Amino acid sequence: MSDGTTRRLDLKGITKAFPGVLANDDVSFSVAPGEIHALLGENGAGKSTLVKMIYGIMQPDAGEIRFDGELVHVASPKAARAMGVGMVFQHFSLFEPMTVLENIALGLDEAISYADLEARIREVLETYQLSLDPHRTVATLSVGERQRIEIVRALLLEPRLLIMDEPTSVLTPQEVAQLFDTLRALAARGCSILYISHKLHEIVELCHSATILRGGRVVAECDPRAESSRSMAEMMIGGALKEIEKAADRSFGVERFIVGGLSLEADDAFGTSLKDISFSVRAGEIFGVAGVAGNGQNELMLALSGERPVESAGAINIDGNPVGTLNAEKRRRFGLCAVPEERNGHGAVPGFSLSDNAILTARTRKNMVRLGVIDAGVAESYTNEVIGGFAVKTTGAKAPASSLSGGNLQKFIMGREIMQAPDVLVVSQPTWGVDAGAAAAIHQELVDLAARGSAIVVISQDLDELMAISDTMAVMNEGKLSRTLAVGEASVDEIGLLMGGVHGDPDATADYAGATHAA
Amino acid sequence: MRLELVKRKQPSRAMLYLTPVFSVLLTMVVGATIFSLLGYDGPGAVWNIFFVPALDPNKWQDLGIKAAPLILIAIGLSVGFRANVWNIGAEGQYVIGGLAGTGVALATWQMEGWWILPLMCLAGVAGGMLYAAIPAFLKTKLNVNEILTSLMLTYVSVQLLYYLMRGPWKDPEGFNFPQSRMFTDSQMLPEIGNTFVHYGVPIAFLVALLAWFILSKTVFGFEIRVVGAAPNAARYGGFNRTRTIWTSLLAAGGLAGFAGILEAAGPYGQMVPQFPTGYGFTAIIVAFLGRLHPVGIMLAAIILAISYVGGEIAQSSIGLPNAASGLFQAMMLFFLLATDILVNYRVRFSGVRSGGAA
C-alpha cells in the first residue's frame, strides 16, 4: 500500500467465469476508509458480478479480497453483513402491504423486539437527517422513501463499506440531491461507499475516485473530479462517443396521434389509475413522457399500445381514426407499433427463436400469414432484414431470443417495430439496461424515424435521455400528465418538481426550487 | 469428487428427445427391481409388459385399439398444456362424450340410416366440449383453478354414468344388469377388413397429423404457444388469453368426448358402468411423454398401449396384480419429470470445490 494506511477494501486479481463469458478478468482495485469510490462500466462490463462477490452472493474463481487488511472468504451475504458490508440493491425487496418497521425487522439477521428496533431506527434517521415514518405502510411510500428503507436497513448494521447499485435510476433530481447529502454524511463518518452507476455527471459530483470496467477488465482508474462526463464515457465504451444527429431545421406536420380524456382504472391495488390524460403528437415529433417510476407509466403504456383497451374509442386517435377500444393487433393495422419496457417475456418471448418473435408483432404488417397459416419463409427473411438493419449480434434468425444480450435483444425489438414503418410508435424505456453504444444507435433510429414523418411517444425515467431526443415533453405524476413543455424551454429543476408532484403553480415552483438550491 | 448440476446456456435439444427414452428405460430397471423384491419374477414382468405385446403381431391390433383413445385425448390435452391450461378432467369429458353419444344411440333405437353414427359422434364431441366449458367458464369469469374443477367434475360424471346405467338407461331386456341396450349395426363403428380394428383407430392417427399442422403452422398454434410461454408477450402480440383458455379447453373436451363415443361405439358396443378405465388420466402421461408434440404423442400412446396390453398378459402369465401396469405408467411420468432437469442442466463431475482454486 503506497500511502501506508490500511485500505477498507482491497481486491487483487479477482476472476470469475460463467459458461461462455469471463465476467471478471484479473480485477484489482482498492477503496480507502471514508472514500466514495465509483465503479463504472457499461451493462455487461462485470460490475454486478464483482459486487456480488464482495457481498458474498457468489465466490470468485480466483483472486483475493481483503477487508481492513485481512484476507477474507465471503461465504454468504450474512457473512458479508457480519463483516461490516452493507448493500442497497437497485430493485428493492420490500413487502408493500407491511409497514416500514416490519420490513426492516424481516431483513435483520438477529431477533430484536419492535420497540428496540424502532428506537435504533429513529437514532439512525436522526443521525443522518433522514425523514421516514416507521409505521407507514410501504405501499403508500414514494420510490425515494422506499430506497430510504433499504438504506436504513443497511445503516442499522453500522457498515464500514456500503455498496449502492444504481441507486438514482428511480429518483427525481431533488431526491438524488438528498441521497447525495446522506452519502456524504456517511462518508464523513468514515464509512466507505462503493457507488455503481453509469450516470457520469453524478459520479463527477459525488465520487472521490473511480474504477472503470470494460469487458470484465479494469481499463482505467481516475479521479472523477478531474475528468469530464465525456472523457469518462469514452473510457467506458472504449471509443469516441457519437452525438445524435438531429436536423436543426426540422418542422412538424399535422397531429397524427391524439389522446384526449384518457382514463383507466388500475387493475390491482398497487397500480396507478390514469386520470384524464390528454396530449397530441405531430408528424415528425418525439414526445417524451417523464416521471418517477410507478406514477402510471406502465398503465399509460398498456393503454396506448392496446394491451389494455379503454372504454371510449375516441380517447385515442391515429390519423383521425378512433382506436381506443381496439386491442394491440388491431391498432397495428392502423399503424401503431409499440415497445414495452420489459424485454424478456413482454417485448419478446425468451424461449422462442428471433423468427418466431418477429411473427409475434410483425405478422400482419409484414404479410406473414395467409388464411391463418404462417409463412415461415417470409418471417425468416424479415427477421434477417432486422438483424442486418440494426446490427443485431446473433447467430441467426433461428437463435432463441434468450441467447441475445440485453442490448442486442433491445436492438432487435426496436428494429422489428421500426422496420414495420409505423405511423405512430410508442416506446417505454428504450435504452433501459442497454450499453452506451447500443443506446446511441437506438436514439438515432428514433430520431430518423421521426424525420420520416412518424409520431413518436417515448416514456422514460431517464431525464437525460428525454432531454436529448424529444422535441416536447410532459411529466407523469400520480396518474396525471402535466401540460406539454417544449424541451428547449424546460429546465431540469422545473421538470424535477413536476415529477415530485408540484403542479402548475409557478410561485410554488419558484419557492421550492429556491429552497432546494439554498439547501 | 462430487456431482454438480450446471445450468446450460441453452436448453439441450438432444436431451429434449432423450429424456422420454431415459424415463422408459429407468421404469424398466426400477420396475424389475421392485417386483423382484416383492417376490415376483421382476425381469419377467418387464418382459411381459413392455416386450411381449410389441413383439407379438397378434397383439398389434389390440395396441392400435388401446392407443386410439389415448392419442385423441392426449392431443386435446397437449393444446391446453402448451397454453398453461391444466385440464386434468379429460376422463370426465370422455365419459360425458360417451354418454352423449349413447343418448343418441338410445333415441335412434330401431332406426336405420347412415346418419346415425355421425350424429352419435357429433353428440360425443359436443358433450365433451360442454363438459369442458364448465371449468373454462369458471376459470375465465371467476378465476377458479381449472385443475380442481376439471378433476372434480370427473367424479360427477362417473356418478351420472352410474345413475343412468342403474336407472333411466338400463336395458329393459338386460336381466337387470346395470348397462345400456346393445348398439345396433347402424350405431356401431365398422371394423377394417377382416381385422377387429375399428375405424376410430385410423381416425385418431389422422387427427394427430391434423393437430401437428395446426399447432406448428398456423397463427392459432402460435397463439397457444405464446400464451403458454409468456402471457404478457401474448397480450402485446394481440392475442387474447381468455379466448385461448376457452379454445384449448373446448378442444380438449371435444377430443376426449370424441374418444369416448368411439370407445362406446367401437370396442364396447354399448354403455356400461365399467366404461371409465382411466384413459383420460393415462393420456396426461402420454401428452408429457410425447413432449406435447403430436408425433411424440403417437409414439407415446403406443408405448402406453403396450403397457396396458402387457399388463393383461402379465396378469395371466406370471400372476402380476392388475395394478402393476398402472404402477409402470406412473413411474414413466415420474422418471420423465425427474430426468427433465437434464434439458436445462448438465451434470458435471468435479474434483475441486468451486472458488477454491487460486
In tens, the pLDDT along A375-386 reads 999 999 999 999
CA distance A32 to A46: 22
How many alpha carbons fall within 13 Å on the CB side of residue A98?
12
> What is the 3 state secondary structure string of A56-74?
CCCCCCEEEEEECCEEECC
Q: Which of A123-137, B203-217, B342-356 has the lowest mean pLDDT?
A: B342-356
Cβ–Cβ below 8 Å for B222 and A61: no
DSSP character at residue A75? -
Residue A89 binned pLDDT confidence (cut-offs 50, 70, 90): confident
Average the pLDDT over B127-134 and give the result: 97
With beta carbons under 8 A apart, name residues in chain A contacting B225. Answer: 352
- Does the structure show a pLDDT above 70 at A501? no
Q: How many residues does chain B have?
A: 358
CA-wise closest residue to A87 among A125, A123, A53, A121: A53
- Answer whether A369 sits within 8 Å of B219, measured CB to CB: yes
Sequence-distant (≥ 6) Cβ neighbours of residue A164 within 8 angstroms: A87, A88, A183, A193, A194, A195, A196
Q: Is B198 helix (H, G, I), strand (E, B) or coil?
A: strand
pLDDT at site B350: 66
Residue B205 and residue B298 in contact, taking contact as beta carbons nearer than 8 Å: yes
> What are the chain B neighbours of A359 within 8 Å (beta carbons)?
222
pLDDT band at residue A387 using 50, 70 and 90 as cut-offs: very high
**pLDDT for A315-347, tens place per residue?**
999 999 999 999 999 999 999 999 998 888 999
Check CB contact of A348 with chain B, cutoff 8 Å. yes
Kindly tell me if the per-residue pLDDT of A180 is higher than 70: yes
Under 8 Å between Cβ of A324 and A312: yes
Answer whether residue A519 shows pLDDT above 60.
no
User: Nearest-CA residue of chain B relative to A360?
Assistant: B237
Quick: pLDDT tens for A219-257.
989 998 888 877 888 888 777 767 777 777 778 889 999
How far separated are the first and last CA of chain A, in Å rounded? 38
Check residue A241 and give its pLDDT: 66
Contact A60 B355 (CB under 8 A): yes
Model confidence at B126: pLDDT above 90: yes
Instruction: Specify the pLDDT at position B351.
Output: 57
Longest dimension (CA), chain B: 88
Strand partners, A15: A62
Q: What is the mean pLDDT of chain A?
A: 87
The answer to whether residue A441 scores a pLDDT higher than 60 is yes
| CB-based contact, A398 to chain B, within 8 Å | no
Dist. CA A469–CA A457, nearest whole Å: 11
Q: Does the beta-carbon distance from A342 to B236 stay under 8 Å?
A: no
- Which cell numbers hold the place of B180? 345400456
Q: What is the mean pLDDT of chain B?
A: 91
Which residue in chain A has the smallest CA separation from B240? A327
Give tens-digit pLDDT for B39-83. Answer: 888 898 899 889 999 998 888 999 999 999 999 999 999 999 999
> Does pLDDT of A516 surpass 70?
no
Q: How far apart are alpha carbons A483 and A377 in whole angstroms?
A: 47
Residue A502 has pLDDT above 70, yes or no: no
Cell triple for B67:
392407443
A504 pLDDT tier (thresholds 50, 70, 90): very low
Q: Over range A202-206, report the average pLDDT.
A: 88
The pTM of the full predicted model, rounded to 2 decimals, is: 0.78
SS3 A267: coil
Of the residues B236, B344, B352, B354, the best mutation for testing chain A's interface (the one with the most A CB atoms within 10 Å of its CB) is B236
Using the Cβ of B229 and the Cβ atoms of chain A, whether some distance falls under 8 Å is answered with: yes
Whether the Cβ atoms of residue A192 and residue A7 lie closer than 8 Å to each other: no
Q: How confident is the model at residue B89 (pLDDT cuts 50, 70, 90)?
A: very high
Query: In this complex, is the C-beta atom of B350 within 8 Å of any C-beta atom belonging to chain A?
Result: no
Q: Which helix (H) or strand (E) holds B19?
A: helix B13-37
Q: Order of strands across the sheet with A274-282?
A: A274-282, A255-264, A316-318, A321-322
Taking CB atoms and an 8 Å cutoff, what residues of chain A touch B239?
329
Rounded to whole angstroms, the Cα distance separating A266 from A300 reads 10
Q: Write down the residue that cell numbers 401396469 correspond to.
A: B325
Q: What residues form DSSP beta bridges with A290?
A: A475
Domain spans, chain B:
66-299
Amino acid at A441: A
Give the Cα separation of A313 and A114 in Å (integer). Answer: 52
* Cβ–Cβ < 8 Å for B283, B253: no
Q: What is the pLDDT of residue B28?
A: 93
Residue B353 dihedral angles phi and psi, to the nearest 5°: -70, 135
CA distance A61 to chain B (A): 4
Q: What is the pLDDT of residue A342?
A: 87
Task: Taking residues A271-294, report their average pLDDT.
Answer: 91
Q: Which domains does chain A have, with CATH numbers?
A: 9-237 (3.40.50.300), 255-503 (3.40.50.300)
Determine the residue type at A127. T
Which one of A352, A354, A420, A426 makes the best mutation probe of the B interface by having the most chain B beta carbons within 10 Å? A352
Pairs of residues, one from chain A and one from chain B, whose beta carbons lie less than 8 Å apart: 79
| Cα(A518)–Cα(B38) distance, integer angstroms | 86
User: What is the average pLDDT across B318-335?
Assistant: 87
Q: Note whether B345 contacts A: Cβ–Cβ < 8 A.
A: no
Looking at residue A214, its amino acid is: R
Reduced to 3 states, what is the DSSP secondary structure of residue A178?
A: helix
Residue B233 to residue A348, Cβ atoms within 8 A: yes
Mean pLDDT for the stretch of residues A83-101 = 88
pLDDT at residue A419 greater than cutoff 90: yes
Please, which pLDDT band fits residue A513 given cuts at 50, 70 and 90?
A: very low
Asked if the C-beta of B210 comes within 8 angstroms of chain A's C-beta atoms, the answer is no
The grid cell for B212 is 401437428
Are the C-beta atoms of A289 and A297 separated by less than 8 Å?
yes
Task: Inspect the interface and report whether the beta carbons of A338 and B236 lie closer than 8 Å.
Answer: yes
CA atoms of A278 and B165, how far apart (whole Å) = 66
Residue of B nearest to A14 (CA): B358
Minimum Cα–Cα distance from A326: chain B residue? B238
**Amino acid at residue number B220:** F
Structure confidence at residue A512 (pLDDT): 40
Mean pLDDT (whole number) for B159-176:
92
Q: Is it the case that residue A1 has pLDDT exceeding 70?
A: no
Q: How far apart are alpha carbons B146 and B137 in whole angstroms?
A: 10
Tell me how far CA of residue B167 lies from CA of B148, B179, B274, in angstroms.
29, 9, 16
CB-CB under 8 Å, B219 with A372: yes
What pLDDT sits at residue A268?
A: 72
Distance CA A465, CA A447 (A): 12
B358 Cβ under 8 Å from any chain A Cβ: yes
Number of H-type helices and E-type strands within chain B: 15, 2
- Within 10 angstroms of residue B206's Cβ, the number of other Cβ atoms is 10
pLDDT tens across B203-257, in order? 999 999 999 999 999 999 999 999 999 999 999 999 998 999 999 999 999 999 9
A327/B232 Cβ within 8 A: no
Burial B234-268 (b: 16+ CB within 10 A, else e): bbbbbbebeebbbbbbbbbbbbbbbbbbbbbbbbb
**Lowest-confidence segment of A136-145, A179-188, B163-172 by average pLDDT:** A136-145
- Higher-confidence residue of B104 and B358: namely B104
Confidence category of residue A178, pLDDT binned at 50, 70, 90: confident
Residue A195: closest CA among A206, A24, A213, A45: A206
**What pLDDT score does B274 carry?**
94
pLDDT tens for each residue of A307-317: 999 999 999 99
User: Higher model confidence: residue A414 or residue A157?
Assistant: A414
Q: Which of B312, B345, B338, B355 is nearest to B45 (CA)?
A: B312
Mean pLDDT for B78-90 is: 94
Question: pLDDT higher for B253 or A176?
Answer: B253
Question: pLDDT band at residue A434, thresholds of 50, 70 and 90?
Answer: confident
- Cβ within 8 Å, pair B237-A347: no
User: For residues A207 and B68, what is the distance between their CA atoms, to the nearest angstrom?
Assistant: 72
Residue B344 to chain A, least CA–CA distance (Å): 12
Using alpha carbons, select from A174, A172, A176 the residue that is nearest to residue A513. Answer: A174
| B355:A61 CB<8 A | yes
